[in-house]
Structure 1
């Protein structure tokens, strides 16, 4: 059977990183927004944003905590998993998460790919060194 999710989206808030209670290293929780756009019958552009819970483990979780911030653009790949717990009132609660195998940062530290520096331009006359 196949259980695979691949998403590209922006973080809705800074990652929440903690140490696992069982001593197996870091765990990070991300809130990832993906958006879909379409035109309705009147030609108006519509947009719907979906919010996804994403869980990272180990060194990947540590990297997320160090380098990702709210608004960062990231790619995640993993599997869907539903957890169950009881709240304080004894009610059963459920949440579905993407437990990641891969995470890639798709921009600078603040999520914008425009953080790269431009190479300095030189006004030197390169023709001076040519032998012809």
Structure 2
């Protein structure tokens, strides 16, 4: 192995899929909300043995932090389509029964709703009005920087989602 060679370290995950359950929002001891968003992402491939197209589902837990967690709780439900950009995060904690647990999840940096939001009046908003609201800063799709998710991750140590 050559020394002095710098290997780029990239930890980037982009997924599109649908929620398998309603988001679960919990609050850290600091009061910061974190939402657990279970996502199913399907892939299609051609099986040469059977000569047929097949689908394979991959199930991934996504964590969403801060104000974005509150918006996720209010606007998404089981079956909602989303696009997630984030990074892989390995968590370890001790369960109430004393056993050690671990999980590999995606810590979201950006989460894009892929379906029109049904506001309090129950009428769907158009994609254009959704974008206008985002530009105005109200009801913007949950997007937050890595610094906030890093800070929240340190608060999460020992907290089971």
TM-score interval for Structure 1 and Structure 2 normalised by the shorter chain: 0.7 to 0.9
* CA–CA distance in structure 1, aligned partners of residues 97 and 26 of structure 2: 26
Pick from 18, 32, 42: which aligns with 1:35? 42
Match of 1:64 in 2: 72
* CA–CA distance in structure 1, aligned partners of residues 78 and 17 of structure 2: 11
Larger relative strand fraction: 1
Match of 1:6 in 2: 14
Q: RMSD of the alignment, in Å?
A: 1.8
Match of 1:22 in 2: 30
Q: Which runs of 5+ in 1 are unaligned?
A: 118-132
Q: Which runs of 5+ in 2 are unaligned?
A: 1-8, 119-123, 127-161
Shift of 1:104: 0.6
Larger relative helix fraction: 2
Higher Rg = 1
TM-score of the superposed pair, with normalisation by structure 1: 0.76
Structure 1 residues 109 and 13, CA gap change in structure 2 (3 angstroms): farther
Match of 2:114 in 1: 106
Contact 1:72/1:109 (8 A) holds in 2: no
1:55 correspondence with 2:59: no
After superposition, the C-alpha distances for 1:74-93 in whole angstroms (9 at most, x for unaligned) are 01111111111233554322
* Runs of 4+ displaced beyond 2 Å: 86-92
1:84 correspondence with 2:92: yes
86-95 or 43-52, which moves further after superposition?
A: 86-95
After superposition, the C-alpha distances for 1:61-101 in whole angstroms (9 at most, x for unaligned) are 01100000100000111111111123355432210111111
TM-score of the superposed pair, with normalisation by structure 2: 0.64
Shift of 1:3: 0.9
> How many residue pairs were aligned?
112
* CA–CA distance in structure 1, aligned partners of residues 64 and 89 of structure 2: 13
Structure 1 residues 13 and 109, CA gap change in structure 2 (3 angstroms): farther
